[in-house]
Chains A and B, each alone.
Chain A
Amino acid sequence: SQQGEEDPQALSIQEGENATMNCSYKTSINNLQWYRQNSGRGLVHLILIRSNEREKHSGRLRVTLDTSKKSSSLLITASRAADTASYFCAILQGAQKLVFGQGTRLTINP
Chain B
Amino acid sequence: KAGVTQTPRYLIKTRGQQVTLSCSPISGHRSVSWYQQTPGQGLQFLFEYFSETQRNKGNFPGRFSGRQFSNSRSEMNVSTLELGDSALYLCASKRVVVEPEEYFGPGTRLTVL
State the Cβ distance, A35 to closest chain B Cβ, in Å.
Answer: 8
A96 and B98 contact, CB distance less than 8 A: yes
Number of A-B contacts (CB under 8 A): 59
B21 interface residue, CB < 8 Å from A?
Answer: no
Residues of A near any B CB (own CB < 8 A): 30-31, 33, 35, 40-45, 48, 88, 92, 94-103
Q: Are A96 and B56 also in contact (CB < 8 A) when A40-B88, A42-B4, A101-B42 are?
A: yes
Residues of B near any A CB (own CB < 8 A): 4, 31, 33, 35, 42-43, 45, 48, 55-56, 58, 88, 90, 92, 97-98, 100-107, 109
**Chain A minimum-CB-distance residue to B96:** A96
Q: Are A41 and B43 also in contact (CB < 8 A) when A95-B97, A96-B56, A96-B98 are?
A: no
B48 and A33 contact, CB distance less than 8 A: no
Residue with the greatest number of chain B CB neighbours at <10 A, chosen from A33, A96, A99: A96
The B interface, classified by DSSP as helix, strand, loop or mixed, is strand
6 nearest A-B residue pairs (beta carbon):
A42-B104, A100-B43, A43-B104, A42-B106, A45-B101, A102-B42
Residues from chain B with Cβ under 8 Å of A97 in the complex: 45, 48, 56, 58
B55 and A96 contact, CB distance less than 8 A: yes
Q: How far is the CA of A29 from the CA of B91 in the complex (A)?
A: 24
Q: Which of A45, A48, A88, A95 contacts B43 (CB 8 A)?
A: A88
**Chain A minimum-CB-distance residue to B31:** A96
Q: A40-B107, A48-B101 are in contact. List 7 more A-B contacts (CB 8 A).
A: A40-B88, A41-B107, A45-B103, A95-B55, A96-B31, A98-B33, A100-B35
